[in-house]
Structure 1
Amino acid sequence: MARQLPHEGDGKYLVYAGTGTDLIFNHGVELPGFASFPLLEKPETRTILAGQMRDLVDLAKEMNIGCILDAPTWMANVDRAAPLGYDAERLIDVNKDAVSLMEDVRRAAGRDDILVSACIGPRYDPYADVSPISVEDARHYHRAQLDSLKETSVDLVTAYTFNRPSEAAGCILAAKDVELQIIMSLVVETDGCLADGTKLVDAIDQIDTATNSAALFFMVNCAHPTHFAGAIDNHPRIRGIVANASSCSHAELDEAEELDEGDPHQLGKQMAEVMRNNPSIQVFGGCCGTDMRHLRSMARAIDHPT
């Protein structure tokens, strides 16, 4: 059954991309290389992964909105998984298994407004000082993971934390090649620009030009509302915001030894204000440092603006 995607209606959808920091700091789970997908192999950690998504489903039901379940496949690509001992053939099974777990959660909930997505991550650490890859190289690279996801029941895929327009364009084209719907989520620095200084709206326009607007829509993730509020500029292609709990820079967060969970109440108010100022936004949620307290605060503030 083809389910309605966010841009096809006017409903709100909740997402949770902060599972990694939640696993480390709130569940005491060690993530090898910050990858969540190895947790699929052990029953006890697999249960935790499913539990995070069940909590999201429960909150969405409480707030009477839809939700998107993201399979933990952000690092399940060849270059980032190889140091963890995963080869290309094994990754095919990993991607399929991750989606299967999300399907189990959705099936148990028995709701039509739950979408299953799979996370696509950039080829390299998005904050590493590496040269950009070309559109065609990115298209070829991401095709492998997308090929494996094409054989699953995903409603769409979500590319999170991309900060190089050429790689974002290549990933979108790879999804188009295998006929998968894709949301592209970009990450900005504290000034609201991508790491290379490109303004957010300019990057989106560049990517759309290179791909003939093939992405469903764009989001911003892994940044604080104070970083992206002024950068969205009511751009009609931006339909999602997925915020960090902390207003610190990526460099500061990378150095931190303790979790900066910010102020959940204040974060909710800030997210609601961004959405009031940018009415095309339908998808919202939490990224690094957030948990269900932050998401509940967002949902309440958005539902009952002050």
Structure 2
Amino acid sequence: MIIDSRPGAALSHCRTRGLQTPDPLSQLLARRDWLMADGATGTNLFNMGLTPNEAPELWNSRHPDRVRRLYRDAVDSGADLFLTNTFGGNASRLGLRKAADQVRDLNRAGAALAREVADAAGRKVIVAGNIGPTGEIMAPVGSLSHARAVEMFHEQADALKEGGADVLWVETIGCDREFRAAAEAARLADMPWCGMMSFDTAGRTIMGVTSAQLSALVERLPNPPVAYGANCGVGAADLLRTVRDFVASGNERPIIAKGNAGVPRLEGGHLHYDGTPAIMADYACLARDSGVRIIGGCCGTTPAHLRAMREALESRAPGPRPSLEEIAERLGGFSSLGDGF
């Protein structure tokens, strides 16, 4: 089924979870031309004192007030949608910290804290239950079976649902098989979901998937995502070049862009991103004018970036679809000569 991305169309097309009414994200998309998502989780938690050897998800139980602050900062900066602090909350990744037995508790807690903040916002704000990659390589290249991947994603999805997430937010996926496993887990959890891949190798994911292949994949799934797109990668310019390919696919499904705040550089043992709030404001408007419906930031994106993005989206009139030359000029150029080859 093809979902029309025009405002209002989601109400007539979406029947996620077998209900007679659309899910909360589709409802909001039906009323708005664009939505703003949040910024970085890791960057902002590091700024609050998270250390490199800590799993961010453990803060959901150890430092709930700091996690609430992360969420509130996003809402106060204008986000219509924010992610739970659960990106690495699957059994494989938490197992590296000897916390695999805490998957349900940590994901449920992360979503419950988010639900609390969203409900107190005074406006409609979507809680997106964040699910990142397992950290393992899928068979036949690696040893992770489809069944085990589905099992891990499903455990996480159920806990996020219990905690009050409105939608599952699957991101930074590099493998089409892992994307399929996450989609199956969302179906088993009876939850609407969004899916993103990270295109960081000349327009391909780490496992070689192109933007065109992702656009085709989402339409073949038995439970396609509410929206799909790209996050992270090597910079905002490259991400928008990938977005142009999604638009060109013609599938009309709402598109997500969640680009990094520039390119990182190592200074004094810490990563710093060169994307200023002004640059991210340009990125947000270029994304909107490219046809993106959900616009946010990834690594390096702070509340200051989000405030600039929101102000620009609200104050600058929509323009024509930007060319690659305009994107490169305003955002600092591309990291490779081509996208997907």
Residue 70 of structure 1 deviates from its aligned partner by: 1.5
* 1:259 and 2:280 are equivalent in the alignment: no
Paired residue for 2:182, among 162, 171, 177? 171
Distance in 1 (CA, whole Å) between partners of 2:136 and 2:40 is 16
User: What letter matches 1:212 in structure 2?
Assistant: P
Across the two proteins, how many residue pairs are aligned to each other? Answer: 286
* 1:36 and 2:56 are equivalent in the alignment: yes
Paired residue for 2:256, among 226, 240, 247? 240
Larger radius of gyration: 2
Counterpart of 2:24 in 1: which secondary structure? coil
Distance in 2 (CA, whole Å) between partners of 1:132 and 1:22 is 34
User: What letter matches 2:263 in structure 1?
Assistant: S
Counterpart of 1:284 in 2: which secondary structure? strand
Q: Which residue of 1 aligns with 2:316?
A: 305
Q: Which residue of 1 aligns with 2:282?
A: 269
Distance in 1 (CA, whole Å) between partners of 2:25 and 2:134 is 30
* 1:23 and 2:45 are equivalent in the alignment: yes
Deviations 1:67-105 (A, max 9, x none): 1132111111101001212133x2211111111111121
- Matching of residues 1-306 of structure 1 within 5 Å: 3-5=24-26, 6-24=28-46, 26-33=47-54, 35-42=55-62, 45-60=63-78, 67-88=80-101, 90-111=102-123, 113-124=124-135, 131=142, 133=144, 135-189=146-200, 191-209=202-220, 211-223=221-233, 224-232=235-243, 233=245, 234=247, 235=249, 236-247=252-263, 257-278=270-291, 281-305=292-316
Distance in 2 (CA, whole Å) between partners of 1:14 and 1:258 is 25
Counterpart of 2:273 in 1: which secondary structure? coil
The answer to whether the 8 Å contact 1:72/1:98 transfers is: yes
Structure-1-length-normalised TM-score: 0.83
Deviations 1:229-277 (A, max 9, x none): 22222143352111101235xxx77x97332242221222123113202
Structure 1 segments of 4+ aligned residues over 4 angstroms from their partners: 132-137
Pair 182,291 (structure 1): closer, same or farther in 2 beyond 3 Å = same
Pair 96,133 (structure 1): closer, same or farther in 2 beyond 3 Å = same
Deviations 1:212-233 (A, max 9, x none): 3521110211132211222222
The answer to whether the 8 Å contact 1:166/1:207 transfers is: no
User: What letter matches 1:246 in structure 2?
Assistant: G
Pair 163,93 (structure 1): closer, same or farther in 2 beyond 3 Å = same
The answer to whether the 8 Å contact 1:71/1:102 transfers is: yes
Counterpart of 1:231 in 2: which secondary structure? helix
Pair 262,227 (structure 1): closer, same or farther in 2 beyond 3 Å = same
Calculate percent identity across the aligned residue pairs: 22
Distance in 1 (CA, whole Å) between partners of 2:111 and 2:49 is 24
The answer to whether the 8 Å contact 1:134/1:170 transfers is: no
The answer to whether the 8 Å contact 1:176/1:214 transfers is: no
Deviations 1:175-213 (A, max 9, x none): 01221111001111152221233321212312432x235
Distance in 1 (CA, whole Å) between partners of 2:161 and 2:48 is 32
Residue 170 of structure 1 deviates from its aligned partner by: 1.2
Give the gaps of 5 or more residues in structure 2: 1-20, 318-341
Structure-2-length-normalised TM-score: 0.75
User: What letter matches 2:258 in structure 1?
Assistant: V
Counterpart of 1:302 in 2: which secondary structure? helix
User: What letter matches 1:94 in structure 2?
Assistant: L
User: What letter matches 1:23 in structure 2?
Assistant: L
Pair 133,30 (structure 1): closer, same or farther in 2 beyond 3 Å = same
Pair 238,220 (structure 1): closer, same or farther in 2 beyond 3 Å = farther
Pair 143,226 (structure 1): closer, same or farther in 2 beyond 3 Å = same
The answer to whether the 8 Å contact 1:243/1:286 transfers is: yes
Distance in 2 (CA, whole Å) between partners of 1:132 and 1:288 is 29
Distance in 1 (CA, whole Å) between partners of 2:127 and 2:147 is 28
